[in-house]
């Protein structure tokens, strides 16, 4: 009888203890476990969208009629002045001109490749350049130096441009070997790259406006 009473008392105590411990455990549960959400966005893609929108709205490329700038309506004359026209072999010399437009509109430590192509006519403009370099010896400066050192300006460039069956300004200036060598430099410096396209209109005159595409490749380190 005595043993049964002792057993009951001990069992009651244990159940009481268990109940208390469960309450305390859940009371401290919120304190013990902390969930930290980190929203990771693809910064390079965001930068490329912003940069392309700035190019489309800039009066250096967009049509301006003294009252307003027409966003995404690019002026043919401005494109000819600021960018390399694929049909004008002399304009290829602008590649060595340190591309003023991209120097003014770009992110630091970035390389930009801008292409505007006409959808209704065989006409393409492109420009290659880099943003301001912040810090010596950064990956992007090494990448830019690599790309510039591999530029090939020779009579064969027109054949290289069409070797895939359509005009590609990148192929005109660099071979696959050059691109691969410089991409290895970019990868070695943990760089990121993004490619985006945007619909635009290209204005030749008041009565001649074509649809086109603005493509932007951005590499950042």
Partner 1 sequence: MKGQLVELAVIGAIASATAIITVIIPFIFTRIQFVETIDAEITQNNAQLALLALLSSTHENKQISQIIVEHVAFNQYSNINEIISPRLEKYTSCYKLTIGDKTLAQKEGCDATKYTAGAKIALPYQPEKKVEILQLTIN
Q: For the CB of residue 2, give the shortest distance to partner 1 in the complex, in Å.
A: 7
Residues 68-87 that bind partner 1 (CB under 8 A): 70-73
Q: CB–CB of 156/191 below 8 Å?
A: no
Kindly tell me which of 148 and 209 has the beta carbon lying closer to partner 1.
Answer: 209
If one asks whether residue 164 binds partner 1 (CB under 8 A), the answer comes out as no
Main-chain dihedrals φ then ψ at residue 71, nearest 5 degrees: -65, 135
Going by C-beta distance under 8 Å and a sequence separation of 6 or more, which residues neighbour residue 158?
Answer: 89, 172
Going by C-beta distance under 8 Å and a sequence separation of 6 or more, which residues neighbour residue 128?
Answer: 95, 99, 102, 111, 112, 113, 114, 147, 173
Sheet containing strand 110-118, edge to edge, reads 62-64, 69-75, 192-205, 208-220, 110-118, 124-130, 84-85
If one asks whether residue 3 binds partner 1 (CB under 8 A), the answer comes out as no
Among 3, 4, 5, 165, contact with partner 1 (rule: CB under 8 A)? 5
Kindly tell me which of 116 and 147 has the beta carbon lying closer to partner 1.
Answer: 116
Give the separation between CA 180 and CA 57, rounded to whole angstroms: 33
Kindly indicate which of the ranges 76-84, 98-106, 126-134, 200-208 contains the residues binding partner 1, using the contact rule CB under 8 A.
200-208
Kindly indicate which of the ranges 19-27, 106-114, 126-134, 157-165 contains the residues binding partner 1, using the contact rule CB under 8 A.
19-27
If one asks whether residue 213 binds partner 1 (CB under 8 A), the answer comes out as yes
Kindly tell me which of 46 and 163 has the beta carbon lying closer to partner 1.
Answer: 46
Residues 114-133 that bind partner 1 (CB under 8 A): 119-120
Give the separation between CA 199 and CA 211, rounded to whole angstroms: 7
Give, in order, the Cα–Cα distances in Å from 147 to each of 150, 170, 173, 185, 219: 5, 11, 10, 10, 12
Q: For the CB of residue 195, give the shortest distance to partner 1 in the complex, in Å.
A: 12
* Residues forming the site for partner 1 (CB under 8 A): 2, 5-6, 9-10, 12-14, 16-17, 20-21, 24-25, 28, 31-42, 45-46, 49, 56, 70-73, 119-120, 196-201, 203, 207-213
């Amino acid at each position: 009888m005595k043993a049964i009473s002792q057993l009951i008392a001990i069992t009651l105590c244990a159940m009481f203890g268990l109940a208390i411990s469960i309450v305390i455990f859940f009371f401290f549960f919120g304190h013990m476990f902390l969930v930290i959400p980190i929203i990771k966005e693809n910064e390079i893609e965001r930068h490329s969208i912003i940069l392309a929108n700035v190019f489309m709205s800039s009066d250096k490329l967009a049509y301006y009629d003294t009252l307003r700038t027409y966003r995404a309506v690019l002026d043919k004359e401005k494109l000819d002045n600021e960018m390399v026209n694929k049909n004008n072999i002399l304009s290829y010399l602008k590649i060595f001109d340190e591309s003023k437009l991209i120097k003014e509109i770009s992110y630091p430590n970035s390389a930009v490749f801008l292409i505007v192509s006409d959808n209704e006519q065989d006409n393409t403009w492109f420009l290659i350049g880099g943003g301001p370099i912040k810090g010596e010896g950064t990956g992007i400066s090494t990448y830019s130096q690599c790309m510039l050192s591999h530029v090939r300006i020779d009579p064969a460039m027109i054949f290289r441009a069409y070797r895939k069956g359509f005009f590609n300004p990148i192929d005109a200036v660099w071979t696959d070997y050059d691109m691969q060598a410089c991409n290895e430099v970019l990868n070695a410096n943990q760089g990121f790259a993004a490619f985006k396209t945007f619909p635009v209109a290209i204005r030749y005159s008041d009565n001649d406006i074509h649809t086109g595409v603005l493509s932007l490749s951005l590499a950042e380190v």
